[in-house]
Amino acid sequence: MGYTVGDVLAERTVHVTRESLVRYAGASGDFNPIHYRDDVAASVGLPGVLAHGMLTMGIASSVVISALDPATRVLDYGVRFTKPVVVDPVDGADIHVVATVGAVDEEAARIDLKVTFDETTVLVKAQLRVAVR
C-alpha cells in the first residue's frame, strides 16, 4: 500500500455510551469507578463520568486499522492524554477520528490521528507508525 503525506486514510465518528464504558471496563479489567459512577466522578471534581483514556486510544487505532490492508504491520503507537471525554448518561459522546499520513520514509509511514470530542482535541501527539514493506 502506497502512502502519500497529507492523504486522509480514514475518518469516522464513533458514538460511545455508558454501556461502551462498562463493556471496556470488563474487557480491559480497568474498573476505576470514575468510568461508570457519577457520584464518584463528582467526588473527585470531574465534570462527569469519563471514557477510559485507553478506550479512546483503542478506538482511534481501530478506525485506522480498518482502513489499512489487513497485512499491514504496526510498528508503534503512542498518544498523550490531554482532555477527558465526558460521557453523558443519556446522550453518550461522539469521538471523531481523522487519520492522515504525516510522514513517510523507506521503512515506515507515520499516521497522525486527530481525535476530538465536542470540538476539543482529546489526544495529542497521537501517532501510529506502520511498516511500508
Per CB under 8 A, residues contacting other proteins are 14, 20, 23-24, 26-30, 32, 34, 44-46, 50, 52-55, 57-59, 61-63, 65-66, 70-71, 73-84, 128
Q: Which is nearer to other proteins, 46 or 104 (CB)?
A: 46
Place of cell 492523504: 7
Q: Which of 114, 112, 102 is nearest to 56 (CA)?
A: 114
Q: Collapse the DSSP code of 92 into the 3-class scheme (helix H, G, I; strand E, B; otherwise coil) and give the result.
A: strand
Q: Which is nearer to other proteins, 6 or 133 (CB)?
A: 133
Q: How far is the CB of 80 from other proteins (least distance, A)?
A: 5
Q: How far is the CB of 28 from other proteins (least distance, A)?
A: 6
Q: Are 72 and 132 in contact, with CB atoms under 8 Å apart?
A: no
Q: How far is the CB of 104 from other proteins (least distance, A)?
A: 19
Q: Which is nearer to other proteins, 8 or 131 (CB)?
A: 131
Q: Which of 90, 74, 54, 87 is nearest to 132 (CA)?
A: 74
69 Cβ neighbours under 8 A, 6+ residues apart: 1
Q: Which is nearer to other proteins, 6 or 114 (CB)?
A: 114
Q: Are 14 and 63 in contact, with CB atoms under 8 Å apart?
A: yes
Q: How far is the CB of 64 from other proteins (least distance, A)?
A: 9
